[in-house]
């Protein structure tokens, strides 16, 4: 073996060992800072030499009669974090509503058409990451279409963030994400319990959140899982991280959508940077940690200004300043 290849293999082994040994440790302030440093290392520099699209083209699959806010929050957050283009694939009825929230989003009214999987499939080769679920709803036809789109994204090797009703779909059919190395699941408390029962056959052990998240991740074939809560617990089958960045006590709807949209971009950046850059935690762990820290920081900053009246729209206004503060200063 050439010396260079030998060194690279050795560095790879050391990384796996370092991760395996750190999985049972708590995540201290020092660890938080070193993980934030890893996030900083995946952020692409803003230079004049790039063309539109290079820093990310993200798709969100969701948006139906009842829910138009959730896909908007996810898609606009992806843009505000730094993606160049953000697409929403929603139902015909939801499209004009979502378009009217923002001229910045590209909105495709295709999700309830009989041709949905082919129509979205045409766009997939141009997308760097797909967020499946915010505002999708639980209509059988929409879930079947989301399933077809998810399968096409996997076939194309596209990173997928699965949230909200996308997690409902995965709880019905865990095989959809089983072993896919570019999948991240972002369950809230209820979604996590539902997934654990579906995959492991029992409710999670509430006294051992780290163990519960690690077990679910491993049972799904080392898919990255982010359990949101008072602290966010993140596992990739090998290592467990915790994000306890100060947030706020406001629990208004939509904060999870901000997180999943941000994660779409960060997952793309992290996978593009690769494990050499993240040095220690896997790229998707670093991306997930970054999205959690950012969401919580947005919540904190918005709450300082608006207190009890804070809503997710106020948090989205903080994405730029919060991002600079955490990852650029």
Ligand X SMILES: Nc1ncnc2c1ncn2[C@@H]1O[C@H](COP(=O)(O)OP(=O)(O)OP(=O)(O)O)[C@@H](O)[C@H]1O
Binding positions for Mg ion, rule: CB under 5 A: 164, 256
Which is nearest to 325 in space by CA: 306, 298, 285?
A: 298
Give the Å distances, CA to CA, from 89 to 53, 107, 118, 135, 254: 18, 6, 12, 11, 18
Please count the residues of the chain: 329
292 binds, among ligand NPW, Mg ion, ligand X, none (CB under 5 to 8 A by kind): ligand X
Among 94, 129, 153, 164, binds ligand NPW (CB under 6 A): 164
Residues 303/312, Cβ–Cβ less than 8 Å:
no
Q: Which is nearer to ligand X, 11 or 189 (CB)?
A: 189
248 labelled ligand-binding = yes
Asked if residue 139 belongs to a known ligand binding site, the reply is no
Beta carbon of residue 256, minimum distance to Mg ion (angstroms, whole number): 3
**191 marked as binding residue:** yes
What beta strand segments (E) does the chain contain?
A: 57-61, 85-90, 106-109, 129-132, 160-162, 183-185, 224-227, 232-235, 240-243
| Residue 204 in the binding site for ligand NPW (CB under 6 A) | no
223 three-state secondary structure: coil
Q: What whole-number distance in Å separates Cα of residue 164 and Cα of residue 188?
A: 8
With CB under 6 A, what is the number of residues at the site for ligand X? 17
Q: Which residues, numbered 20-79, are part of the site for ligand X (CB under 6 A)?
A: none
Question: Was 190 annotated as part of a binding site?
Answer: yes
Helix (H) or strand (E) holding 160: strand 160-162
Contact positions with ligand X (CB under 6 A) in 238-277 = 247, 251, 253-257, 259
Q: Give the single-character DSSP code of 229.
A: S
How far is residue 261's CA from residue 74's CA, in Å, rounded to a whole number?
Answer: 4
* 95-154: contacts with ligand NPW (CB under 6 A): 134-137
Instruction: State in angstroms the smallest separation of the CB of 300 from ligand X.
Output: 9
**188 annotated to a ligand binding site:** yes
209 makes contact with ligand X (CB under 6 A): no
Q: Which of ligand X, Mg ion, ligand NPW, none does residue 259 bind (CB under 5 to 8 Å by kind)?
A: ligand X
76 lies in the binding site for ligand NPW (CB under 6 A): no
| Dist CA 149 CA 141 (whole Å) | 12
Residues that bind ligand NPW (CB under 6 A): 67-70, 134-137, 164-165, 188-190, 253-254, 256-257
């Amino acid at each position: 073996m050439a010396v260079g290849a030998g060194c690279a293999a050795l560095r790879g082994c050391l990384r796996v060992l370092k991760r395996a040994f750190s999985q049972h440790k708590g995540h201290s302030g020092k660890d938080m800072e070193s993980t934030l440093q890893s996030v900083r290392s995946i952020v692409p520099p803003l230079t004049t030499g790039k063309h539109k699209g290079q820093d990310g083209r993200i798709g969100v699959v969701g948006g139906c009669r009842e829910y138009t806010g959730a896909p908007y929050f996810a898609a606009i957050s992806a843009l505000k974090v730094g993606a160049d283009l953000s697409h929403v694939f929603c139902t015909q009825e939801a499209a004009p509503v979502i378009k009217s929230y923002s001229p910045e989003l590209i909105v495709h009214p295709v999700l309830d058409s009989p041709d949905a999987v082919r129509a979205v499939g045409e766009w997939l080769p141009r997308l760097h990451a797909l967020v499946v679920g915010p505002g999708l709803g639980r209509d059988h036809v929409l879930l079947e279409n989301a399933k077809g789109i998810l399968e096409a994204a996997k076939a194309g090797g596209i990173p997928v963030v699965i949230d909200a009703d996308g997690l409902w779909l995965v709880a019905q059919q865990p095989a959809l994400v089983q072993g896919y190395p570019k999948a991240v699941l972002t369950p809230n408390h209820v979604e996590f319990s539902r997934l654990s029962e579906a995959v492991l056959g029992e409710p999670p052990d509430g006294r051992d959140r780290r163990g519960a998240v690690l077990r679910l991740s491993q049972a799904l074939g080392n898919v990255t899982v982010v359990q949101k809560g008072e602290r966010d617990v993140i596992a990739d089958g090998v290592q467990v991280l915790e994000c306890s960045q100060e947030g706020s006590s406001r629990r208004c709807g939509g904060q999870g959508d901000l997180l999943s949209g941000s994660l779409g971009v960060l997952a793309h950046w992290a996978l593009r940077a690769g494990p050499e850059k993240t040095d220690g935690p896997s790229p998707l762990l670093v991306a997930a940690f970054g999205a959690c820290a950012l969401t919580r920081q947005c919540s904190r900053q918005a709450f300082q200004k608006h207190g009890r009246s804070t809503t997710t729209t106020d948090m989205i206004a903080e994405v730029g300043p919060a991002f600079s503060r955490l990852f650029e200063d």
